[in-house]
Amino acid sequence: MDPLVSIITPTLNIVEQEHADEFNLLVTLLEMQTYPNIEHLVIDGSSTDETIDLLKDYKNKGYINFFTEKDTGKYHALNKGIMRAKGKYIAFLSCDDFYHDITAIADAVNAMENEKADFLFSPAYCRHPEGYTYLFMPAMYNAFQVIPCARQGMIFKRSMLEEERYFDEKFKIMSDMDLIIRLLMKRRKGIFFETNFTTYKLSEKTYQNDEQCINETRLIFHKNYRTLAPLNDETLEAMVFYSEFPPELLNKLADFFSPDDRDLFFERCEQMHQLRIQQYGG
């Protein structure tokens, strides 16, 4: 029997925010997936508009199951979804994201089963709030410096997320980055899936809160790397803004990749460092 896949979608006042049509597209395209064993869980944050009526309609038609109660933010909602999910595999789509390839789940699950993978990552189309779309190609060799791929283009083994204690909810914007770093440092098996099957919208909260993103990144670096090398404020500042990591730390992080990939790891890290210098003028 095909393993169950749980798709988790957080919602809050999507009618008021004019996301109802986008949510309909998400649900419709999920229904068109060729994979036969999918559950779609909607975790609502206690909406006060007509969202609950909308969700009830979808539930009555057999498209979704939903739960509504107050939460402390997106990652709290996602964690509650993981706890309620029954699938062997879990993916996360917001109300304005969708899978544009109807064979996506079937192909991705087949790849994960064949490789006995803990997680899968893939390219994804990102719709920017300013109205343009670009392809976000994964850059896993840079995962210790920046967010290397889109969460919406990933699929996770549920048991692994439970073992790794879910998303860290104290990070309100950058918890994806923290999770991926933790997975790599625990040597969880990730596989690259070259097919682009996801279109997602960049969160305006992320786009408009650069200072919070920077502060959370600094905390994530300190949380995950403090036992590997000395990290003072000056060092963390260079890491956050310029992707300039101390050689001692880079050498230890390289050990989380295979020996054959060490040179490529250092090369990609230096490339990112140079790109950030150009960006911030350091």
Can you tell me the mean pLDDT for 54-62?
Answer: 97
Q: Are residues 230 and 188 in the same domain?
A: no
With cut-offs at 50, 70 and 90, classify the pLDDT of residue 207.
Answer: low
Domain boundary residue, one of 208, 238, 255: 208
* pLDDT exceeds 90 at position 208: no
- Say if residue 187 is in the same domain as residue 253: no
Domain boundary among 208, 234, 268: 208
Question: Are residues 12 and 147 both part of a single domain?
Answer: yes
User: Is the CB of residue 47 less than 8 Å from the CB of residue 9?
Assistant: no
| Secondary structure string (H, E, C) spanning 202-224 | CCHHHHHCHHHHHHHHHHHHHHH
Give the pLDDT score at 280. 79
Give burial (CB, 10 Å; 0-12/13-18/19+) of 41: buried
Q: Assess if residue 268 is contained within a domain.
A: yes
In this structure, is residue 119 part of a structural domain?
yes
Do 77 and 104 belong together in one domain? yes
- Check: CB of residue 77 under 8 Å from CB of residue 43: yes
Q: How many structural domains is the chain composed of?
A: 2
Is residue 137 domain-shared with residue 253, that is, in the same domain?
no
HEC per residue, 152-184: HHEEEEHHHHHHCCCCCCCCCCCHHHHHHHHHH
pLDDT of residue 150: 97
Does 247 lie in the same domain as 278? yes
Do residues 130 and 22 both lie within one domain?
yes
Residue 282 pLDDT exceeds 90: no
Q: Do the domain assignments include residue 219? A: no
Residue 238 has pLDDT above 70, yes or no: yes
104 lies in a domain? yes
Enter the pTM of the model.
0.96
User: Does residue 274 share a domain with residue 175?
Assistant: no
- Do 202 and 252 belong together in one domain? no
How far is residue 276's CA from residue 282's CA, in Å, rounded to a whole number?
A: 8
Shared domain for 64 and 114, answered yes or no, is: yes
pLDDT above 90 for 90: yes
Both tokens of 186, joined, read: 């625990």
Decide which of 174, 208, 242 is a domain's last residue: 208
- pLDDT-above-70 percentage for the chain: 99
Residues 163 and 279 in one domain: no
Q: Quick check: 204 pLDDT over 90? A: no
Per-residue pLDDT at 26 exceeds 70: yes
Burial pattern 168-201, b for ≥16 Cβ within 10 A else e, equals bbebbbbbbbbbbbbbbbeebebbebeebbbbbb
- Angle formed by the axes of helices 210-225 and 175-185, to 10°? 20
Strand order in the sheet with 190-192: 65-68, 38-44, 5-11, 89-92, 154-157, 119-121, 190-192
Domain of 239 in residue numbering reads as 226-282
Q: Is residue 83 part of a domain?
A: yes
Q: Are residues 198 and 233 located together in one domain of the fold?
A: no
Q: What is the mean pLDDT of the chain?
A: 96
CATH number for the domain including 202?
3.90.550.10
Model confidence band, residue 101 (pLDDT cutoffs 50, 70, 90): very high
pLDDT in tens, 154-198: 999 999 999 999 999 999 999 999 999 999 999 999 999 999 999
As a whole number of angstroms, the longest Cα–Cα distance in the chain is 57
Is the confidence at residue 281, as pLDDT, over 90? no
Say if 176 falls within a structural domain: yes
Residue 82, in any domain of the structure: yes
**Residue 216 domain-assigned?**
no
Q: Which residue has the higher pLDDT, 204 or 106?
A: 106
